[in-house]
Amino acid sequence: MLFFRRSQQNSSFSALQGLWQVIAGYRWRVAGALAFLILAKMASVSVPLVLKRIVDVLSRPEQVAALPVLILTGYAILRFSSTLFNELRDLLFSRVTQQTVATYAHKVFTHLHELGSRFHAQRRIGGLLPDIDRGTNGIAFLLGVGLFTIVPTIVEIGMVLAIMGARYSLWYTAIISVTFILYTGFTVVFTSRRTIFQRRVNRLDSSAKSRLTDSLINYDSVKYFTNEKLESHRFQDIMKSWADAATDNQKALFILHVGQSGVIALGVSSIMLLAGQDVMTGGMTVGDLVLINAFMLQVCLPLNALGFVYREARDALVNAEKLFELLREQPEIKEAPGMPSLRIDRAEVVFEHVNFHYDPARPILHDVSFRIAPGQTVAVVGGSGSGKSTLARLLLRFYDVTGGRILIDGQDIRHVSPTSLRRHIGVVPQDTILFNDTIAYNIGYGRNDASNEDVIAAAKAAHIHDFIQSLPQGYATEVGERGVKLSGGEKQRIAIARAMLKNPSILIFDEATSALDTQSERAIQSELDRLSENRTSLVIAHRLSTVVDADEIIVLQHGRVMERGTHEKLLQQNGAYAGLWQLQLRSDEQESPTALS
């Protein structure tokens, strides 16, 4: 438990340290805002002093020759000045707050794209987004309301104590000081206890949003299996736990509020009793009583606000911790400054004694070696879990090999910039995920500087231009989230057009047609063949009919190369490939009657 608390303290300190590093870039704005803050508090503290003077003068009208216009006007000006300086402070500091929030939002966004495939395979997007949202809101609170409530309150209390100590009995200063100490101690102790509940509420809130997002993403599966009630009950269970945690949190908040109000009431009653006694004995004027009452209220009201802000600041810090934890996640594959770019001469790809595992206890690839000559196509086939798609991920350097090496034109891809590596590789994946934007945007994503003419030319090359033109909005048609408004074949053609627009030296087809029906597969296969002409291509295949023309076919079983050769040669060997081929022929024969019916 001690280690856990120390870890949380270190996390909070790290968060504050990170914030300070960003704020330091706006030191002149911060200094100006603090100056306005001090001026506002000086004006605020001066108001009760002028009010005392007004009460003392007007309480003896027989001694007043004329209305004290100057003092009354000064009182109004001081009140206005306090508001004006506070507004100027907020105006000057707003740029710091908003820019810091924008900076952190951008940092998190960029950092998430830098993190590796392993992180994204494990993360839950529904829980990640609330953490980011709460984190940025927490930063905004810490910089804005937090900073400019805690600091001004401390400054104001200090000024009041100094004035009270100079003008009145030390008993008044002692009562205010004791009230402040009791209030602060009570707030710190009970807020720390409440933080435990707040963390639990946040965790369950993230879990609920993660469950909600996951269920909606899998909407079709829920309908397929008529599991609406199951999903509803699972979500209800999470929300019940959240409601219980939120109630416990509110109980802790109740104790905190009542205790804070009790301390303030004790302090106010003590000091007013003492002041009333001094007025009765003639030791103070009515103006002094008004002054002390105003000062006490001036201390207690911001003190009450300070308790609220401290509590909210702790909550904000808890929220910001998640965001900073996310920023501390280290990418598995870092692009070190000064890494050389990949140089493409012939686009030769070599896998040399490659071993790989995601988990040491479960090896994926064992001593895999093959060469893709410039302009040739090598296909990799095998059953599910044989390691086919892992080859593509390693070539793209989403992961690093655990043994051996991968070379492109003699360069070990671990020693070149990952960005330059991926720039030369085009991918047509099995499941094409499109941005929730227009068709033109999704095709143009293959090359950022592409013109409209380039996009149209790529669409024509992928034989999807006529289909796009038939749509009411043409290339401006929105494809929906993840491309749900398009069929599988239409999405694959967009993926092909995007790859054509990129015009890469090396191509990866990762089971690019396995999700399509036979008719769509045959229609798209010709585009894939045309795309791979004169390019070095790695084809990860499920259906063998798509790779019969490959220059070499590699058969993987349990992460090992079992057979290799051309289609004809492998059939002659009558081994694993020949068996897979016969299975596919029988499957195609069974599909044919269905296709005709």
Q: Residue 464: phi, psi to the nearest 5?
A: -125, 0
CA–CA separation, 336 and 578 (whole Å): 46
Structure confidence at residue 596 (pLDDT): 38
Structure confidence at residue 120 (pLDDT): 64
Q: Indicate if the pLDDT at residue 593 is higher than 60.
A: no
Per the listing, tokens 């599909």 go with 591
Range with lowest mean pLDDT among 126-135, 486-495, 547-556: 126-135
Q: Do residues 456 and 448 touch, judged by C-beta distance below 8 A? A: no
Average pLDDT over residues 461-478: 88
Structure confidence at residue 10 (pLDDT): 53
Rounded to 5 degrees, what angle do the CA atoms 417, 419, 423 make? 120
Q: Do residues 401 and 484 touch, judged by C-beta distance below 8 A? A: no
Q: Do residues 271 and 296 touch, judged by C-beta distance below 8 A? A: yes
Which CATH code fits 13-328? Answer: 1.20.1560.10
Say which residue, 504 or 116, is predicted with more confidence. 504
Nearest to 514 by CA among 387, 428, 439: 428
Nearest to 504 by CA among 537, 471, 482: 537
Q: Indicate if the pLDDT at residue 3 is higher than 50.
A: no
Q: Do residues 501 and 458 touch, judged by C-beta distance below 8 A? A: yes
Give 587's pLDDT tier (boundaries 50, 70, 90).
Answer: low
- The total of other beta-carbon atoms located within 10 Å of residue 478's CB is 13
Tell me the domain boundaries of the chain.
13-328
CA–CA separation, 299 and 155 (whole Å): 10
Nearest to 97 by CA among 150, 18, 28, 19: 19
For every residue of 389-414, which 3-state class applies, written as one string? HHHHHHHCCCCCCCEEEEEECCEEHH
Structure confidence at residue 403 (pLDDT): 92
CA–CA separation, 531 and 504 (whole Å): 10
Please write the tens of the pLDDT for every residue from 540-555: 887 788 888 889 999 9
Please write the tens of the pLDDT for every residue from 220-236: 667 656 778 888 888 88
Nearest to 138 by CA among 112, 101, 108: 101
- On average, the pLDDT of the chain sits at 78
Please write the tens of the pLDDT for every residue from 144-170: 665 666 667 777 777 777 777 777 778
Please write the tens of the pLDDT for every residue from 34-84: 788 778 777 777 777 777 677 666 666 555 555 566 777 777 887 788 788
Q: Indicate if the pLDDT at residue 322 is higher than 80.
A: no
Note the pTM of the prediction, 2 decimals: 0.63
Residue type, 52: K
Please write the tens of the pLDDT for every residue from 353-383: 999 988 888 888 999 999 999 989 999 998 8
Structure confidence at residue 351 (pLDDT): 94
Rounded to 5 degrees, what angle do the CA atoms 440, 443, 448 make? 95
Structure confidence at residue 191 (pLDDT): 74
CA–CA separation, 266 and 179 (whole Å): 8
